[in-house]
Amino acid sequence: MVSEAPHGALGASGPRAPVPEVRGAVASPDDALPLRLALARGSLGIELNRPEGVGPLEVRELAFSLPDLRYPLDLSKGVKQFRSRRGRLQRLVLVLPLAALAAWLERCLQEHLGEPLLGARLWIIDPEDASPSTEAATHVPLGIGVGVFSASRSLAFDLWWCAPEGPRLVLERPRAVGLELSALAASLRAVDRLITDLAEGTSPRIAVRKGRLIEVGDVAGALCRRLLPSYGWRVPATDGVRAVGLEVREGNVELAFDVDQEPVEAPREVLLALEAAYRLRAADDLLAVGKDAEARQALLEVLADVPGLTSAAHALAGLDAPVPGRQEAALATLEDAGGAEQAGPLGALTLVSAGHVERAREALMRAGAAEPFGPLAAQLYCRGAQLAEHPTARLLCLDRAVARAPTLASARWLRFEDRVRRGDLEGAVADAQHLEAASVGPSARHGVCLRAGRRLAEGGYTDAARRFLEKALRYAPDDPAARAALGRLFASLGMKSRAVTLLQSALHADPALEGETDAGELLLDLARLLGDGLDDLPRAIGRLRQISARSPRAIEGRALEAEYCERLGDLTGASRAYARVREAVELGWARHRDALLALRRGAEFEERRGEIAMAERHLYAALSLAPSDPELRDAYRRVAALSSGRRESPSTEPRGTPAGSGAQIE
């Protein structure tokens, strides 16, 4: 005889039935099979003897009975002798490990925000009257919160659970920062992607989205089909098995399916959200596929029937808020639905786009304080900091942003920048050190140290800048950018020889840089050091001539080349340099201000050496950049008059030279 299983896997309660007669000892669990025989309520069955993983999920309990057996039974052959029998599922407990699900979520939605994700989070949503999850080992949650974030964007939404009349999830409270789509549209598309990935390899699909309602299908059957055939077992029948409800146990969410247990009644707020989801299905489906105009019309029709439906008003405002010119319409919709300040991130960002700065800042602070998803809250606080006029208010926003999301580098960089501007060197260095420590790998740490060092050098904190730039070189000794930044810092400290060495090594670290546009600024800095610092004008001129004509610093380089040539006594070289500036202007390559100054200096230089026609050509090119400049026009008239007088005088016109010609550009 076999005694009844003490754990009661095939039934949790009820009167004890007569135990059938069986012969032979019960076989010990087979290590190759995670299944064992179980006996409860007078029925022989099979159950899992260890948890089994199915993708990001875990099946903790699985028990099915074996009906229509003839007794007595010989169990000496163990569980293998029942493989060909069709069982009937009695109970299945599915564990949703939040950490594993978050990692899977991040993989699925890697490009969903338009830039690489930095992380994903899942959290348990408790009813307002429920005790916090830390105070009880087991409790019933309202649902699960979902959030993903990148450097400048975040998306979060809730999935509320409703078990009666079939298991369903309702998408609620979509919210986002930095997205071009509305938060609702982005959330619906994220759900579609997750359902597709989770259902891969199962038929029929285990979940279907209808609007913002997600109908859960035969999850228990799908899991049995994924799990049991791999062990050579037939899939048991699942008719009569119902989803009981969600439960939080040991920090994870459990979903139980049972033939006897009644589903947990849904809270009032879930039932109201369910009713709204039915009304909004058509509009939500249109929104999910990008048919915004049709979705907007459907939302207006819903609001005409149910004027006070908050979810419809928020969906309509979410559509209008990103569209230029519709911000005031979105704001009016939210005001009619209870006020923009009460609409969370949507209301706060709508106030920002509508230009209501003070109300927007207060709404951003309120939305950040109420937001459970830390990265989204931090980005809301960062938006509030941008709107704050007083330094103390701005620092408060940034402190809260860093506190809510300590690993969000963008928030800490904003506080670093603010501290540098305010002169808080100690705080700025602390932020930079935290960013360095939080970075993974030498390359990332090199980038942090280089960025911090450059910014500190710009702020005048040379000692701190030197420490970070030297650390950047330790992480990447061959990096030209780090060498160049440290070289410029040494130049500002008067350490000219070391600065020249570092800038030269930066230039030659990557041969592709030499003579290319990217090297223009580096060549210009090196030339200034050689010419002004070490009085080595020939080498400085040589470096300046390496600057490409297409470089953004080309005009500055040509003007400095002309200045150095003039100081060296090479008047022909100076004239050629100014002529190359004029050529760049005529070809449309030159920047306005630098080219204008260089052409005026070139005209003065040519006039001093008696090349009046060349001075006239320089001024004519300068007038094409600033035709309304009165001083420039007067200078051009004067030089043109001088040039005309020379052309009329045969004694001053060089023989064999066309009038008005100048130096040839090589």
Mean pLDDT of the 76-105 span: 84
pLDDT band at 646 (very low <50, low <70, confident <90, very high): low
Give the model's pLDDT for residue 14.
40
Measured CA distances, 532 to 41, 491, 527, 564 (Å): 97, 11, 8, 9
Give the model's pLDDT for residue 15.
39
Which range among 279-283, 587-591, 639-643 shows the weakest confidence by mean pLDDT?
587-591
Give the model's pLDDT for residue 487.
82
Which range among 81-90, 200-209, 353-362 shows the weakest confidence by mean pLDDT?
200-209
Give the model's pLDDT for residue 196.
86
Q: Of the ranges 198-207, 294-303, 337-346, 646-655, which is most confident?
A: 294-303
Measured CA to CA, the distance from residue 205 to residue 217 in angstroms comes to 7
CA terminus-to-terminus distance, the chain: 108
- Maximal CA-CA distance, the chain: 136
Measured CA to CA, the distance from residue 8 to residue 18 in angstroms comes to 15
| Contact predicate 253/125, CB 8 Å | no
Give the model's pLDDT for residue 129.
41
| Contact predicate 433/425, CB 8 Å | no
Give 463's contacts (C-beta < 8 A, 6+ positions apart). none
pLDDT band at 386 (very low <50, low <70, confident <90, very high): very high
| Contact predicate 548/516, CB 8 Å | yes
Per the model's pLDDT, the better-predicted residue between 642 and 291 turns out to be: 291
Strands 73-74 and 22-23: parallel
Give the model's pLDDT for residue 553.
82
CB atoms within 10 A of CB 477: 11
pLDDT band at 42 (very low <50, low <70, confident <90, very high): low
For residue 553 the two structure tokens come to: 């610093």
Mean pLDDT of the 411-420 span: 96
Which range among 134-148, 232-246, 292-306, 343-357 shows the weakest confidence by mean pLDDT?
134-148
The domain ranges of the chain are 98-217+260-282
pLDDT digit string (tens) for 438-485? 998 999 999 999 999 999 999 999 999 999 998 988 888 878 888 888
Measured CA to CA, the distance from residue 209 to residue 284 in angstroms comes to 10
CB atoms within 10 A of CB 441: 9
For residue 562 the two structure tokens come to: 């002309």
208 backbone dihedrals φ, ψ, rounded to 5°: -135, 130
Burial class (CB in 10 A: 0-12, 13-18, 19+), 147: buried
pLDDT band at 277 (very low <50, low <70, confident <90, very high): very high
In this model, does residue 175 exceed pLDDT 90? Answer: yes
Per the model's pLDDT, the better-predicted residue between 43 and 92 turns out to be: 92
Measured CA to CA, the distance from residue 612 to residue 661 in angstroms comes to 10
Q: Omega of the bond prior to 654 within 30 degrees of 0, cis?
A: no
pLDDT digit string (tens) for 238-275? 888 888 888 888 778 888 898 888 888 888 899 999 99
* Size (the chain), residues: 666
DSSP state of 237: B
Measured CA distances, 622 to 607, 640, 662 (Å): 15, 14, 16
Give the model's pLDDT for residue 655.
36
| Contact predicate 248/131, CB 8 Å | no
Give the model's pLDDT for residue 332.
92
